[in-house]
Structure 1
Amino acid sequence: MAGEIPDLHALERTGTGKGAARAARRAHLVPGIVFGGDKDPLPINLPYHDLIKRLKAGRFKSTLFNLKVDGHEDVRVICRDVQRDIVKDLPTHLDFMRLRRTSKINLFIPVEFVGEEESPGLKKGGVMTVIRPEVELIVTAGDIPEKLVADISKLDIGDTVTISAIDLPAGTKPTIDRDFVICNVTAPSALAAAEDEEDEVQETEVIEQTDDTVEEEKEYAEE
């Protein structure tokens, strides 16, 4: 099922060049450009504070947005570049690319874990460790999955869930070309420590007592 695509509101920017860009920044706006999709480039301005919040939230350049600009049809875009001030590290310009529904893009998709109540390992007191709460996939812009589902109902202590165990939507594939781990179930630290102690066997050297060794011990004690 396609996930909800967040809206990104922008204003059409009148004028181009450094003068218009500086005027936008004085008005607490960040200039940008939308290109691609067999259409003319569209200069835009984005509200500074809204943009900063989205950048701090992370994954900005791998998030698909529904761009809304007054006087224009909504369009799906993905950010291809964020230019920053070299001193203040604040955004000064953004480049967005229009996408068709058939376009392939890389996006991070969250993982939902189900079956915790039935997991034999968790019933024994095991601990589930999430290695990847989200997975980067190559997806089609018109069919983005809302989430991936990892079933851990059969996991015992020492078991793992890898990406090959998760059903991926048709037409999608991971960006990593190997069967990487999503989560695992391990023994609780107290139990693991107890098992380690049992594995440690203290070796004691046993010396067979003979007449020679007894005589040597007496001579050593007299010294």
Structure 2
Amino acid sequence: MSQDYVIEAFLRDDQGKGASRRLRREERKIPAIIYGGEKDATPVAIWHNELKKALENEAFFSHILTVKVDNGTEETVILKDLQRHPYKPILTHADFQRVDRNHEIHVNVPLHFTNEDTAVAVKLQGGAVSHQMNEVEVICLPQHLPEFIEVDMTDVAMDQVVHLSDLKLPGGVRIAALQQGEDHDQPVVAIHKPKGTKADEAEDAEGGEGEA
């Protein structure tokens, strides 16, 4: 992984809605919780703007993070949940789950679609790319967690659908949905001829003549 993320945190004793409001308003921090593993859940507070800036990088969501707590401890975590204000650009709460090298984790990883414009079905045949997913849940050990999964569109043909089972995964990584059986092999992306093209109009006309 190309970047290390370190989050500064402060133990939080005062809890409840009123305490959380004061934390956000007066200290510019937000409440958070660190849970999982064999330890008790630890309520902490983190700087709002520090977390908001980190979230600008897509990789933050699928990265192993280090939380440094002001009592001198460090926690190795992933960001499991994030709550935001319903209409203001404000974060309100964060959940961090502890991880260790010997236990698999479930994490949503972004999909990066490459070579869409140069795919033959797009460049020469006038097809349009249709995305059904932009991220996928994977299962792996923390040290195998990818920042993203690449989906190369170069050889995707017209009307071909790329499914979860078609994705090329790094070693040690599995797709969560596929562990539930073939019925969960969902579509990820496809290339189709856009509706309203001359070819579509010709097909509609032929269909109408046949019916007549």
Give the 3-state SS of the residue equivalent to 1:200 in structure 2: helix
Deviations 1:85-134 (A, max 9, x none): 9xx9x866554332102332222222233444663322111112122122
* Alignment map for 1:205-216 (pairs within 5 Å): none
Give the TM-score, by structure 1 length: 0.66
Distance in 2 between residues matched to 1:135 and 1:150, nearest whole Å? 12
Deviations 1:8-36 (A, max 9, x none): 52332364556976763432322334344
Partner in structure 2 of residue 195 of structure 1? 203
Equivalent AA in structure 2 for residue 134 of structure 1: E
Structure 2, unpaired ranges of 5+? 179-183
Give the 3-state SS of the residue equivalent to 1:142 in structure 2: helix
8 A contact 1:102–1:142 mirrored in 2: no
Give the 3-state SS of the residue equivalent to 1:135 in structure 2: strand
Q: CA deviation at 1:195?
A: 2.0
Partner in structure 1 of residue 8 of structure 2? 10
* Alignment map for 1:34-183 (pairs within 5 Å): 34-39=34-39, 42-51=42-51, 64-70=64-70, 72=72, 74-79=74-79, 94-116=94-116, 119-122=119-122, 123-177=124-178, 178-183=184-189
Structure 1, unpaired ranges of 5+? 205-223
Equivalent AA in structure 2 for residue 106 of structure 1: H
Partner in structure 1 of residue 23 of structure 2? 24
RMSD (Å), alpha carbons: 4.0
Distance in 2 between residues matched to 1:94 and 1:182, nearest whole Å? 29
Distance in 2 between residues matched to 1:148 and 1:126, nearest whole Å? 23
Q: CA deviation at 1:137?
A: 1.5
Distance in 2 between residues matched to 1:125 and 1:140, nearest whole Å? 41
8 A contact 2:7–2:51 mirrored in 1: no
CA gap 1:184/1:71 in 2 versus in 1, 3 angstroms: same
Q: CA deviation at 1:144?
A: 0.7
Q: Does 1:184 align with 2:190?
A: yes
% same residue = 28
CA gap 1:200/1:20 in 2 versus in 1, 3 angstroms: closer
Give the 3-state SS of the residue equivalent to 1:132 in structure 2: coil
Distance in 2 between residues matched to 1:22 and 1:184, nearest whole Å? 46
Distance in 1 between residues matched to 2:193 and 2:154, nearest whole Å? 16
CA gap 1:173/1:203 in 2 versus in 1, 3 angstroms: closer
Distance in 2 between residues matched to 1:131 and 1:203, nearest whole Å? 34
Deviations 1:52-84 (A, max 9, x none): 677899999876533234563543213456689
Q: CA deviation at 1:51?
A: 4.7
Give the TM-score, by structure 2 length: 0.69
8 A contact 1:10–1:44 mirrored in 2: no
CA gap 1:110/1:23 in 2 versus in 1, 3 angstroms: closer
Equivalent AA in structure 2 for residue 194 of structure 1: A
Partner in structure 1 of residue 181 of structure 2? none
CA gap 1:113/1:37 in 2 versus in 1, 3 angstroms: same
